[in-house]
Chains A and B, each alone.
Chain A
Amino acid sequence: MAKRDVPEINAGSMADIAFLLLIFFLVTTTMDVDTGISRKLPEKQPEDMPEPPKLKEKNVFIVTVNRNNDILVEGETFMTIDKIREEALKFIDNGGGLGNPIDGAEPAECDWCEGAKDPLSSDHPNKAIISLESDRGTSYGTYIAVQNELVGAYTDLRNRLAEKEYGMSYTQMLKDQKNSQNNETLNERIKLIKGKYPQIISEAEPTK
């Protein structure tokens, strides 16, 4: 029997096929990364909820944005967006009194605050509440800008504290946490910093 040659498959058109697929994926691909400001909504309160405890006025920092996108702080001063971060920072970091007890310990002063210790401003970072009031007609852009500045104030404070305590910014610590799996000391430190400057921002329901 004559030995038959197995004919080789011509691979010349392979490139064409691959190109075709390549172009398809090139066209359909979207490389956008999703970024944004993350928030957690408060849980729905039952109707028969007892009245929430009254808060001292000095512990609440009210930022109001009206329908013309004007920003009013504490109901009296008009402010531009770039000033809010500074004002919020001053308010949170004031440390003028005793804070809420942490882990059942006696209420203590904020010994990591560097604020003015003004008795008329907030007592302690864990008591300081920022309330953001808006109108239905406020534009979303302004609303986000204000939120961003408020979150920014907390980030600045956390960065400062982390820098002082561990020689590393809080933002960097969060990045490291993402890259390393279960680094106990790091997780512990982040929790500590978060606890010292807890982010308490309330988004009030808008005025009609």
Chain B
Amino acid sequence: MSKFKKKKKGMPGISTASLPDIVFMLLFFFMVTTVMRETELKIKKPTLPKATEIKKLERKSLVSYIYVGKVKDQNGDKIQLNDRIADVKDVKYFIFAERETHPEDEIPLLTTSIKADIATNVGTITDIKEELRNINALKINYSTLKGNVMDNVK
């Protein structure tokens, strides 16, 4: 009897020794996938148009962004380059500055992504395109989401 004395049974505590491992795993996942937001939006967050014939932008380091949209309590379309609202004429300096940060052989691969609100006037976009043509930055991308194009006109 005494040999098989019942041991006191309690719920064994769950070992948390592997918790750091799990957390580290998640941590590394997020560290690797994270892209720090470089710019803070000064304009109202643009509602991007929708399209079906879209391509993914590869190599984000080669992409520079131009935001176009409205600013609170102000009329007209505003262009945001980096952290501030700018004029169309500043686009070329912005692109020059972007080019500075890349080696020479990558310059022809640089893409300009235009993130414009659906309510923007085409005129503003054309002005930007004209500036880009002037300085030979010919690769552009109209940023869109995947979706039905009919949503754009509602």
How many chain B residues touch A (CB < 8 A): the figure is: 55
* A22 on the B face (CB < 8 A): yes
Interface residues in B78-125 (C-beta closer than 8 Å to A): 111, 113, 116-123, 125
Count the A residues whose beta carbon is within 8 Å of the partner chain — how many? 50
A41 near B60 with CB under 8 A, answer: no
B53 — which chain A residues lie within 8 A by C-beta? 37, 148, 151-152, 155
A22: chain B residues at CB < 8 Å are 23, 26-27, 30
Q: What is the interface of chain B mostly: helix, strand, loop, or mixed? A: mixed
Bound complex: CA A19 to CA B53 (Å): 41
Q: How many A-B residue pairs have CB under 8 A?
A: 164
A9 on the B face (CB < 8 A):
no
Q: How far is the CB of B64 from chain A (nearest CB, A)?
A: 12
Q: Is A31 an interface residue (CB 8 A)?
A: yes
The answer to whether B153 has its CB under 8 Å from any CB of chain A is: yes
A160 is an interface residue with CB less than 8 A from chain B? no
B121–A41 CB distance below 8 A = no
- CB pair B122–A139 under 8 Å, yes or no, is yes
- Inter-subunit contact A29/B35 (CB<8 Å): yes
Q: A11-B20, A25-B31 are in contact. Are A148 and B133 (CB under 8 A)?
A: no
- Residues of chain A at the chain B interface (Cβ within 8 Å): 11, 14-15, 18-19, 21-22, 25-26, 28-31, 33-44, 65, 69, 81-82, 134-145, 147-149, 151-152, 155, 203, 205-206
Chain B residues close to A by CB (< 8 Å): 16, 19-20, 23-24, 26-27, 30-31, 33-37, 49, 51-57, 60, 63, 68, 111, 113, 116-123, 125-126, 129, 132-134, 136, 138-146, 149-150, 152-153
11 contacts between A and B (CB under 8 A): A28-B34, A29-B33, A29-B35, A37-B54, A43-B133, A134-B126, A136-B123, A139-B120, A139-B121, A140-B68, A148-B51
